[in-house]
Structure 1
Amino acid sequence: MYDAVLLATDGSTPASRAFDRAVTLAIETGATLHVLSVVDVGDLDPFTDADIDAVDELLRDAAETAVDDAAERAREAGVDVVSTVRVGVPHREICAYADETAADVVVVGTHGRAGLSRALLGSVAARVVRTSTVPVLVVPPV
C-alpha cells in the first residue's frame, strides 16, 4: 500500500508520538521511512549577524539529533530509513520533500494549540495539511 512514509520531526513530544505512528505504518506496509527535520529560517530572524552563525549551528545540531534519534529507533524496529535535514520554511520544505521522494503519506505531530495561541503562532501541521499533495496523518498530543 505504501512505499514511502515521511515523518516530519522536530524532536518534540508530539513528534515522538507521530514517530510511533509512522513506524507502525512503515512496518505494516513494508515502506521506507523518510525522517525529515527542517531548520526554520524564521528562527534566525531575531538574531544579529554576529549571533546568526552560532544560532544556525545550534538549530542544525538540534535537527540532526532529532533525525538521528528517530532513524536509529526506526532501524532498531526493523524499518529501512532515509534521514534528511533541510533549512527553510517548515511546511514548504516538508511538502517539497514529500513530492521529491514520492511519499505516500506525511506523518506530523501537533502541539494541540487552539484559539488565539494557534492563530498567533500558526501551525506547521495545519499548513502541511493545507498545502500537501499527498495525504497527511496528523497525530494529536494525547
Structure 2
Amino acid sequence: MYDVVLLATDGSTPASRALDRAVSLAVETGATLHVLSVVDAADLDLFADTDPGAVDDLLREAAETAVDDAVERATAAGVEVDRAVRVGVPHREICAYADEAAADVIVIGTHGRAGLSRALLGSVAARIVRTSAVPVLVVPPT
C-alpha cells in the first residue's frame, strides 16, 4: 500500500506520537520512512538583532536532533530510513519534499490548538492538508 512514508517532525511531543504512527505504517507495509524537519525561515528573522549565524546554527541543530531521534527510533524498529533537514516555509518544504521523494503519505503531529491561538499561530498541519498532492495523516496530541 505504501512504499514511502514521510514523517514531518519538529521534535515535539505531538511529533513523537506521529513518529510512532509513521513507524507502525512503515513496518506494516515495508515502506521506507523519510524523516524531515524544516527550520522555519521566519524564525530566523525573529532574531535579527542577534548573530544570524549563531541563531541559524541553533535552529539547525534542533532540527538535526529531532531527525536524529526519529531515525534512531525507526531504525530500532527495523525500518529503512532516509533523513533530511531543510530551511524555508514548513508546509511548502514538506509538500515539495513529498513530491521529490514520491511519498505515498505524509504523517504529521498536531498540537491541537483551537480558536484564537490557532488563528494567530497558524497550523502547519492544516496548511499541508490543504496543499498536499498526497494523503496526509494528522496525528492528534492525545
What TM-score do you get using the length of structure 2 for normalisation?
Answer: 0.98
2:90 is the counterpart of 1:90: yes
State the AA in 2 paired with 1:72: E
Shift of 1:49: 6.0
Match of 1:47 in 2: 47
Classify the secondary structure of the residue corresponding to 2:51.
helix
Q: CA deviation at 1:50?
A: 4.6
- For 1:45, what is the secondary structure of its paired residue? helix
SS of 2:56's partner is helix
Distance 1:71 1:29 in 2: 18
Partner of 2:12: 12
**1:59 aligned partner:** 59
Cα deviation code 1:47-95 (max 9, x no counterpart): 2265211110000000000001100110010000000000000000000
Query: Could you say what secondary structure the match of 2:46 adopts?
Result: coil
Stretches of structure 1 lacking an aligned partner (at least 5 in a row) = none
What amino acid does structure 2 have at the position aligned with 1:136? V
Quote the Cα distance in structure 2 between the aligned partners of 1:12 and 1:50: 25
Report matched runs for 1:94-113 at 5 Å: 94-113=94-113
Tell me how far apart the structure 2 counterparts of residues 113 and 50 of structure 1 sit (CA, whole Å): 30
Q: Which amino acid aligns with 2:95?
A: C
Partner residue in 2 for 1:77: 77
Report runs of 4+ in structure 1 exceeding 3 Å deviation: none
Unmatched tracts of structure 2, length 5 or more: none
SS in 2 for 1:7: strand
What is the distance in 1 between the residues matched to 2:48 and 2:99?
34
TM-score normalised according to structure 1 size: 0.98
Percent of pairs identical after alignment?
Answer: 82
RMSD (Å) for aligned C-alpha atoms: 0.8
